[in-house]
Amino acid sequence: MKLACVVQRYGAGVAGGSERHCRELALRLAARHDVTVLTTCAADYVTWSNEFPAGESVDGPLHVRRFPVSRPRRLKRFAELSDEVFDGRAPEAQQEDWFRENGPDCPALLDYLRAEGGLFDLVLFWTFRYAPSFFGVPLVRDRAVLLPTAEEDRAVDLSVLEGFFQIPAAYLFLTPEEETLVSTRAGRRLQPSAVIGMGLEPAPPVVTPAPLRDPYLLYVGRVDRNKGCDTLLEYFIEYAAVHEGPSLVLAGPAKMQVPAHPRVRGLGRVSDGERDALLQSALALVVPSPFESLSIVLLEGWNRAVPAIVNARCAVLKGQVRRANGGLYYRSSAEFAEAVETLRASEPERRALGAQGLAYVEREYRWPTVMERVERLLDEALALRRARPRA
């Protein structure tokens, strides 16, 4: 098949869940197909400023075609528009403006899809919330495969999405919860579709020595209110006031004030090696985010047989933990404390949960399993398109 992968940013060094997902999947699809990545010259998801040169390049087996972003994101305008649109009463034209302002505004990419999109058998789009997907999917609707990477945040509630989510020819979801969320917003079951998740290689052995000796709970990622870190810190400090027990280690750049506390350690950004070593020795991985479409870090924790403690308000995290039986979840400070104490008090139970998490990854998230689901869905989407009478 001749496939195109459309994503807002692209590159080995580009951080971001959907960008990473796109690259990993595209590289593996290239083993059987002719794959072109259609993306922008942006590297920064806040400003979308052009940093990569426009034009064609290669990334291993992939052709990469970059298009310039016409203007950086107007942050003030975007913030104002977000206020108005998320209030829930914005007309659809204004909601479409929100997608335009969210960017990256890349008319050349859309022109290319309009002119050349028909040359591809299928065009895969990552992330509904960015302009290349929102405005690009309708241009190649008969061959568009959408990976919405939708979370239960305000954007997914926009009424304009009810129609948008019905446009693509096929869908790839990261979790069953995401499929339910998007189908509910669309008002019907979306077919053909597959829940694919994300592939992981078996965890490589840790070469960096364990950085901490005392038991600790580990948070990995941006330390940010939007990631639920303020509530995590609140709950942990309440827990620490009553219980002798592990400390909380935050491994990631801080975007909020981390309170000074003898059992809270903010490490800032850490290397991949340090991250692996921290994960390997953690009492548990904590994932406090209320909004996730998959949580790769949760899978990475299980890949090292580390049990998880997750925020139950996030249906995806709770669903993943329940399916894997690889950890515990909390809704309140009391449940958080009880979960930590349960894992601290019983090493066999902690190990069993970690092992079950690893078994879940082995069962569901190894690349051959993931790619089999993807290939099956792409075959089905192509067959359906070919069977459809031409307009």
Partner 1 sequence: MADVQGRVRERLRLHLVRHGAAAFEDPVLFAEVEHLLRTSIDAGDSHALILPELLGEPASWRLETAMRWDSHRPKAPAAAVLFVKRRVLMPLFRWLFEYSRDNFERQRRVNQVLFACVQELALENARLRHDLERREPS
What is the distance between the alpha carbons of residues 47 and 260, in angstroms, rounded to a whole number? 32
Choice between 120 and 330, CB closer to partner 1: 330
- 183 or 280: CB nearest partner 1: 183
Query: Is there a contact between 229 and 261 (Cβ–Cβ < 8 Å)?
Result: no
Site string for partner 1, 323-342 (x = CB under 8 A): -----xx--x-xx--xx--x
Least distance (Å) between residue 159 CB and partner 1: 10
Contacting residues for 107 by C-beta, under 8 A, at least 6 apart:
70
The most distant pair of C-alpha atoms in the chain lies apart, rounded to whole Å, by: 69
Q: Which is nearer to partner 1, 101 or 152 (CB)?
A: 152
Identify residue 209 by its one-letter amino acid code.
Answer: P
Choose between 297 and 321: whose C-beta lies nearer to partner 1: 321
Residue count, binding to partner 1 (CB under 8 A): 20
Q: How far is the CB of 183 from partner 1 (least distance, A)?
A: 13
Considering only the stretches 87-95, 124-132, 212-220, 253-261, report the one whose residues sit in contact with partner 1 under the rule CB under 8 A.
87-95
Interface with partner 1 includes 83 (CB under 8 A)? yes
Cβ of residue 94: shortest distance to partner 1, in angstroms?
11
Binders of partner 1 in range 217-256 (CB under 8 A): none
Q: How far is the CB of 263 from partner 1 (least distance, A)?
A: 21
Closest approach of partner 1 to the CB of residue 152, in Å: 7
Q: DSSP string spanning 154-213?
A: GGGG-THHHHHTT-SSEEEESSHHHHHHHHHHHTS---SEEE----BPPPPPP-SPPS--
Strand pairing report for 216-220 and 284-287: parallel
Determine the number of helices (DSSP H) and then strands (DSSP E) in the chain. Answer: 14, 14
CA torsion sign for 20, 25, 31, 34 is negative
Report the C-alpha gap between 360 and 220 in whole angstroms.
20
Least separation in angstroms between residue 71's CB and partner 1 is 20
| Helical (H) or strand (E) element with 1 | none
Out of 2, 243, 269, 322, the only residue in the binding site for partner 1 (CB under 8 A) is 322
Residue span 147-186 as binding mask against partner 1, x where in contact by CB under 8 A, dash where not: -----x-------------------------------x--
Relative orientation angle of helices 367-387 and 17-29, to the nearest 10 degrees: 80
Could you tell me the smallest distance in angstroms from the CB atom of residue 79 to partner 1?
8
Task: Work out whether 84 is an interface residue with partner 1 (CB under 8 A).
Answer: yes
At 249 the three-state DSSP class reads strand
Binding site for partner 1 (CB under 8 A): 76, 83-89, 152, 184, 321-322, 328-329, 332, 334-335, 338-339, 342
